[in-house]
Structures are given as structure tokens and as C-alpha cells.
Chains A and B, each alone.
Chain A
Amino acid sequence: MFKIKYLIILFGLLAFGGCKSDPASKKSTGDDFEAAAIDSLRQEFKEVYYRFPSPEEMFSYLDSTGLQFNKGLLNPYANIDSYIETFYQSLNMGIYNADLAYISLFQRYKESLDYLQTIYILSERLRISEAFNKNLVFRIENNIRNNDSLEVISDDAFNGIINFLSKNKKEDVFALISMGGFIEFMHLSLSLCGEYSPENKVIQKIADQKLVFNNILKFAHQYSNERNIQKMIGLVEPLTQFYNKVQEETGKATVTKAPEGKLVFGAKKKSMLSENDFYKLKELISDIRIKITTAK
């Protein structure tokens, strides 16, 4: 009899456990007014997904041809043992991933391997190493002198991590990794872009990254009930305030067709960095990065 009671409770849980509360799924069988109200609710609660480019994509946009390799700018992999809390482990996994993207631009095998191994160790500590394909080490050993393959392998490894986090409802960890990656990308690009000048195209492209920051932050806010996310939002708050003040030139979005039939989307939209903004941004990024990499 005791077992039967449990079976009934289990049955109830199963039956109602599948009923995920989702405002968009509410549907009325009533009159038109009710249907219209539900339609409006559906619009209001429309699911929104925020996406943002990876550090590799950000470097690709920057056009790395003029950039130099400077090992001193990287977060040394020996720092890994000072990251005890999951908060710092996740943020620094993002930092190391951006470092790996930077190293890959210069096809440096040894450093690539070192940083890939560091990311793997951090993933073990974060208990997400399952995300790595079991053949990863074998693939690395077999491509020991093939930089292109190593780049593909690191990209595959990171895609595996993202998929694993999404499958296991650990998007909050993904948000931390992404913010870490963004901060390191900004640190590297601001250190390598040279002196400020309004004509410096790299600086203009760095200014454009404000949109990436905003999307990562909006994505993170969806998990703001997590303590680590609240902590991260607090950590980057000075940067949020800075970006809110950055001047923007805006105009209406346009769509035209090029002679060969290609669609062209245009808009007079530009984030403008003044000389003061540029140095302020450098300072803010440096402060946040120091807090992350020193875990203090």
C-alpha cells in the first residue's frame, strides 16, 4: 500500500512535470477578443535569444594583418591554480579561450597546445570536461605540426563546450565564459591597436564591440537569479555605465540591391570613441581583467 501511494505521487509528478509554464503556449478557445488578447500576450512574452560572436570572429573582424604577437599580453597558464571558485574558473576559461584565438592567428603550435590543455584542465575542474570529444588528445597528437588542424581542433573543442553547457542547462556558465572572452579580446586589441587617432580603423572596430558586450550582458541577465551572474554583472558595471555614455551616430536602416542582385543592408550607425573615451575604456578593461586574472 505504501508503494502504491508513492506510485500515485510519481505519476502525478510525471503528468504535470511535462507541463512547462510558458506564456506563449496559452491558447484560448473563446471569442475573438480573448484571442486578440492572447496574441498580444504572445508578442509580449515572445522568446528572445541573444547571440554574439566568438573571440575568433571578433579577431577576424579586426583584421589581424597589422597585429603583432606579444606573449606578454596573455594570461599565463601557470595562473590556473589560483582559480578555485567556479566564478573565476569560468571567467578565466573565457580569458584563455580568447588567448587561444589570438595565438591561433599567428600559428604558434606550442602556445596553442599549452592553452588548449589549460582550457581542458579548467573544464575538468568545472566538471564539464565531458564536453571534450574523447578523441581530442589523439587528434592533437596526430596533428602535432599542423597548425591549421590544431585551429580546427580548438574550435571543435569549444563548440563542444558550448553545446554541452546548453544541453545541461548551464547557460549561466556560458555567460561567464563569454564575458571573460570579451574582456580578454578587448585587452588584447586595445593593447595592440596603437595610439589613438580618429582615422585608426582598428579603434573604430573596437568601438563597434559595444554591441557584443550588450548582447552578452542581456544574455547574462536571463540567468540573473544565479549568484555568479549577479557578481559578474556587478564586476562589469563600470563598463556598462561607460558604454551607456558613448556617443552614437544613428540613422534609418536601409536595404538596397547591388547590381549583381545581392542584398545590401545599410545604416548610418556608428559608435564614436573620443580620445578620452579610448583611454578610459583601456583603463576600465585593464581594471576588470586584473580582478579576473588575479581572482581578487
Chain B
Amino acid sequence: MRSSFILKIFISGLLFFAPAVMAHSQDCTDYHQYHCAYADYTFFYSRQSKSFLFRKGQTAEVQIVAYAGEEYYLSVCGARKLGTIRFRIISDDNDRTVLFDNAENEYQSSVSFVNEATSNLIIELSTAEGSSKESKDTGCLGLVVQFKKVQ
């Protein structure tokens, strides 16, 4: 009788905590490959593209190498529950000059640019703070990087 009662508590607890455990084990590895928008066929896919498990209110940085004389296309996408995704492109130097901020461009989810000098660029990704820090506020976020030679 007592063991059956404890078993019930165990199963209830399992059901209660399962979403939290599952959220942490959610696999986002190739999320960007299937959810983000791509540029036209003239651009090539870069292995610098990346997906991650993201939480509302989180900020992350992706450092990429951008070659001189190439045009780049960046696109971000994320689970709906993450809300609007803000991304900024920042120069990787002491000044950390903001080269692009999608918040100043109606939160557009993609941008293309021509790069004149080979440099490290920081792609800063962030989402607005959620109302709670529950596991339901986490979801996949993806970044696609594509490139082509400038004609």
C-alpha cells in the first residue's frame, strides 16, 4: 500500500519535471538548416552557420571569419516562443563598432553585406526577457551564413 503511494508520487514528479529535463536535452543542432531563410542560389552555404538552444532574455555571440572581397548573407530564425530576435553585427576590435543592428531596421531577419577587409565579425543574438524563467521559455535559434565572391 505504502509502496504504491510512493510510486504514485514518483510518477507525478516525473511528469512534472519531464518538460524541464526535455527542454535541456532538446536537440537544436541542425535547426537553422531547415528553418532559416536562404539567399538565392548564387550564394554558398558556410559551415560557420550554427544553431543553439536559447532562452528568452539570453544574449549570445557568434564569432565568424569574414573574408575580403566576399558578399555575405546572414539570416536568423527561432522558435516562436522566443519572440523577436535581435541581431547586431559588431567589429571584433577594441572599439566594438556596431556595423548593423536589425532593431534599427524593423527587426528584419536577414541582411547581406560586402566585406572589404578580412576580419572577425561578432554576431550578437538576443531575445527580450520572458515573464518567467520556466523551461517553456527556451527554444531553438539558428543562424545561417552564406557567401559569394563579389563580381
Q: Is B59 a contact of A18 with CB atoms below 8 Å?
A: no
The number of residue pairs between A and B whose CB atoms lie closer than 8 Å in the complex comes to: 158
Q: How far is the CA of A195 from the CA of B24 in the complex (A)?
A: 53
Q: Is residue B55 contacting chain A, with contact meaning CB distance below 8 A? A: yes
Stretch of A67-75, A265-273, A276-284 contacting B (4+ beta carbons < 8 Å): A265-273
Which B residues are in CB contact (< 8 Å) with A53?
46-48, 65, 67
Q: How far is the CA of A253 from the CA of B91 in the complex (A)?
A: 6
Q: Which single member of A11, A51, A54 contacts B13 (CB below 8 Å)?
A: A11
Stretch of A83-91, A109-117, A207-215, A238-246 contacting B (4+ beta carbons < 8 Å): A207-215
Q: Is B48 a contact of A15 with CB atoms below 8 Å?
A: no
Q: Which single member of A46, A218, A269 contacts B60 (CB below 8 Å)?
A: A46
Which A residues are in CB contact (< 8 Å) with B118?
208, 211, 269-271
Which A residues are in CB contact (< 8 Å) with B91?
253, 265, 267
Chain A window 213-225, contacts with chain B (Cβ cutoff 8 Å), 1 for yes, 0 for no: 0110010000000
Chain B window 83-116, contacts with chain A (Cβ cutoff 8 Å), 1 for yes, 0 for no: 0000001010101010110000000000111111
| A255 to chain B: closest residue by CB | B99
Size of the chain A interface, CB-CB below 8 angstroms: 59
Known: A263-B100, A267-B119, A268-B117. A215 touches B65 (CB 8 A): yes
By CB atoms of chain A within 10 A, which of B44, B117, B121, B133 has the most? B117
Q: Is B113 a contact of A265 with CB atoms below 8 Å?
A: yes
Q: Is B133 a contact of A14 with CB atoms below 8 Å?
A: no
Q: Which single member of B13, B24, B67, B115 contacts A20 (CB below 8 Å)?
A: B24
Stretch of A122-130, A132-140, A160-168, A183-191 contacting B (4+ beta carbons < 8 Å): A160-168
Q: How far is the CA of A3 from the CA of B3 in the complex (A)?
A: 9
Which A residues are in CB contact (< 8 Å) with B111?
263
Q: Which single member of B47, B50, B99, B119 contacts A54 (CB below 8 Å)?
A: B47
Considering only residues 51-77 of chain B, those with a C-beta below 8 Å from chain A are: 52, 55, 58-68, 70-71
Q: Is A60 a contact of B44 with CB atoms below 8 Å?
A: yes
Q: Is residue B6 contacting chain A, with contact meaning CB distance below 8 A? A: yes
Question: What is the interface residue range for chain B against chain A?
Answer: 35 or more
Q: Is B119 a contact of A8 with CB atoms below 8 Å?
A: no
Q: Is A8 a contact of B6 with CB atoms below 8 Å?
A: yes
| A63 to chain B: closest residue by CB | B149
Q: How far is the CA of A54 from the CA of B47 in the complex (A)?
A: 6
Known: A53-B65, A250-B93, A264-B114. A15 touches B17 (CB 8 A): yes
Q: Is residue B128 contacting chain A, with contact meaning CB distance below 8 A? A: no
Q: How far is the CA of A61 from the CA of B66 in the complex (A)?
A: 10
Considering only residues 5-23 of chain B, those with a C-beta below 8 Å from chain A are: 6-7, 10, 13-14, 17, 20-21, 23
Q: Which single member of B63, B71, B99 contacts A215 (CB below 8 Å)?
A: B63
Which B residues are in CB contact (< 8 Å) with A7?
6-7, 10
What are 24 A-B pairs with beta-carbon distances under 8 A? Answer: A3-B3, A11-B10, A24-B58, A46-B61, A47-B58, A51-B50, A53-B65, A53-B67, A57-B46, A61-B70, A63-B149, A162-B47, A208-B118, A211-B120, A215-B120, A218-B63, A250-B93, A252-B95, A262-B112, A263-B113, A265-B113, A266-B117, A267-B117, A269-B119
